[in-house]
Protein backbone atom coordinates (compact mmCIF):
# COMPACT_ATOMS: atom_id res chain seq x y z
CA UNK A 1 0.00 0.00 0.00
CA UNK A 2 1.36 3.40 -0.96
CA UNK A 3 0.11 6.27 1.15
CA UNK A 4 0.43 9.95 0.47
CA UNK A 5 -0.04 12.98 2.67
CA UNK A 6 0.16 16.55 1.30
CA UNK A 7 3.16 18.50 2.56
CA UNK A 8 4.00 21.76 0.87
CA UNK A 9 4.42 21.33 -2.88
CA UNK A 10 5.07 17.58 -2.71
CA UNK A 11 3.53 14.67 -0.89
CA UNK A 12 5.03 12.31 1.63
CA UNK A 13 5.02 8.89 0.00
CA UNK A 14 5.50 5.66 1.92
CA UNK A 15 6.59 2.80 -0.31
CA UNK A 16 4.68 -0.42 0.07
CA UNK A 17 6.55 -3.59 0.95
CA UNK A 18 7.50 -6.12 -1.72
CA UNK A 19 8.11 -9.65 -0.48
CA UNK A 20 9.24 -10.93 -3.90
CA UNK A 21 13.02 -10.96 -3.33
CA UNK A 22 12.96 -12.66 0.09
CA UNK A 23 10.43 -15.27 -1.04
CA UNK A 24 12.44 -16.05 -4.20
CA UNK A 25 15.54 -16.58 -2.04
CA UNK A 26 13.77 -18.86 0.45
CA UNK A 27 12.07 -20.90 -2.30
CA UNK A 28 15.29 -20.95 -4.34
CA UNK A 29 17.12 -22.46 -1.37
CA UNK A 30 14.98 -25.62 -1.58
CA UNK A 31 16.47 -27.03 -4.81
CA UNK A 32 19.94 -26.04 -3.56
CA UNK A 33 19.49 -28.71 -0.87
CA UNK A 34 20.22 -31.27 -3.58
CA UNK A 35 23.48 -29.55 -4.51
CA UNK A 36 24.94 -28.11 -1.29
CA UNK A 37 23.22 -28.20 2.09
CA UNK A 38 25.38 -25.45 3.57
CA UNK A 39 24.84 -23.15 0.56
CA UNK A 40 21.09 -23.80 0.74
CA UNK A 41 21.11 -22.94 4.45
CA UNK A 42 22.94 -19.67 3.86
CA UNK A 43 20.57 -18.61 1.06
CA UNK A 44 17.51 -19.58 3.13
CA UNK A 45 18.75 -17.70 6.21
CA UNK A 46 19.50 -14.62 4.12
CA UNK A 47 16.01 -14.85 2.59
CA UNK A 48 14.43 -15.12 6.05
CA UNK A 49 16.47 -12.14 7.25
CA UNK A 50 15.24 -10.09 4.27
CA UNK A 51 11.69 -11.29 4.95
CA UNK A 52 11.93 -9.88 8.48
CA UNK A 53 13.42 -6.62 7.16
CA UNK A 54 10.62 -6.34 4.59
CA UNK A 55 8.02 -6.67 7.33
CA UNK A 56 9.61 -4.06 9.61
CA UNK A 57 11.41 -1.46 7.44
CA UNK A 58 9.61 1.32 5.55
CA UNK A 59 10.88 4.06 3.26
CA UNK A 60 9.15 7.43 3.20
CA UNK A 61 9.89 10.11 0.65
CA UNK A 62 9.25 13.51 2.25
CA UNK A 63 9.65 16.94 0.70
CA UNK A 64 13.33 17.14 1.73
CA UNK A 65 14.62 13.63 2.51
CA UNK A 66 14.29 9.90 2.22
CA UNK A 67 13.43 8.66 5.71
CA UNK A 68 13.93 5.06 6.83
CA UNK A 69 11.57 3.75 9.52
CA UNK A 70 11.58 0.58 11.58
CA UNK A 71 7.96 0.10 12.59
CA UNK A 72 6.92 3.67 13.55
CA UNK A 73 10.37 4.92 14.60
CA UNK A 74 12.62 6.85 12.22
CA UNK A 75 16.08 5.27 12.15
CA UNK A 76 17.78 7.32 9.42
CA UNK A 77 17.17 10.31 7.19
CA UNK A 78 18.93 10.97 3.88
CA UNK A 79 18.48 14.62 2.72
CA UNK A 80 18.20 14.89 -1.08
CA UNK A 81 20.58 17.85 -1.18
CA UNK A 82 23.42 15.46 -0.24
CA UNK A 83 22.65 12.91 -2.98
CA UNK A 84 25.03 12.71 -5.94
CA UNK A 85 23.67 9.72 -7.82
CA UNK A 86 21.23 6.80 -7.64
CA UNK A 87 20.46 3.68 -9.62
CA UNK A 88 18.11 0.70 -9.57
CA UNK A 89 19.98 -2.39 -10.73
CA UNK A 90 18.23 -4.58 -13.27
CA UNK A 91 15.08 -2.49 -13.77
CA UNK A 92 13.27 -5.42 -15.44
CA UNK A 93 13.80 -7.55 -12.34
CA UNK A 94 14.85 -5.01 -9.70
CA UNK A 95 16.86 -6.51 -6.86
CA UNK A 96 19.12 -3.70 -5.66
CA UNK A 97 18.84 0.05 -5.08
CA UNK A 98 22.04 2.12 -4.91
CA UNK A 99 22.49 5.75 -4.00
CA UNK A 100 25.54 7.88 -3.30
CA UNK A 101 25.66 10.77 -0.91
CA UNK A 102 28.46 13.29 -0.51
CA UNK A 103 30.14 11.20 2.22
CA UNK A 104 28.84 7.65 1.74
CA UNK A 105 27.45 4.98 -0.58
CA UNK A 106 24.34 2.92 0.18
CA UNK A 107 23.04 -0.36 -1.25
CA UNK A 108 19.54 -1.54 -0.33
CA UNK A 109 17.89 -4.78 -1.41
CA UNK A 110 14.63 -4.22 -3.27
CA UNK A 111 12.18 -4.80 -0.43
CA UNK A 112 9.64 -2.21 -1.59
CA UNK A 113 7.60 -1.21 -4.64
CA UNK A 114 10.24 -0.65 -7.34
CA UNK A 115 7.98 1.31 -9.70
CA UNK A 116 6.95 3.79 -7.02
CA UNK A 117 10.59 4.06 -5.90
CA UNK A 118 11.58 5.00 -9.45
CA UNK A 119 8.81 7.61 -9.68
CA UNK A 120 9.74 9.19 -6.32
CA UNK A 121 13.43 9.27 -7.19
CA UNK A 122 12.80 10.90 -10.55
CA UNK A 123 10.58 13.54 -8.91
CA UNK A 124 12.83 14.37 -5.96
CA UNK A 125 16.35 13.55 -7.18
CA UNK A 126 16.46 13.79 -10.97
CA UNK A 127 19.58 12.28 -12.51
CA UNK A 128 22.02 14.78 -13.92
Q: If you ran DSSP here, which 8-state letter would residue 8 be given?
A: T
pLDDT band at 57 (very low <50, low <70, confident <90, very high): very high
Residue extents of the structural domains in the chain: 3-79+112-124
pLDDT at 93: 85
Residues contacting 119, CB < 8 A, separation 6+: none
pLDDT exceeds 60 at position 127: yes
Amino acid sequence: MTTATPIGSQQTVELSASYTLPIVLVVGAIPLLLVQVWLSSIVALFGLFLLFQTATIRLKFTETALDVYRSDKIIRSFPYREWQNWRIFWPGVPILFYFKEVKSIHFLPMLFDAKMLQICLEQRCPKI
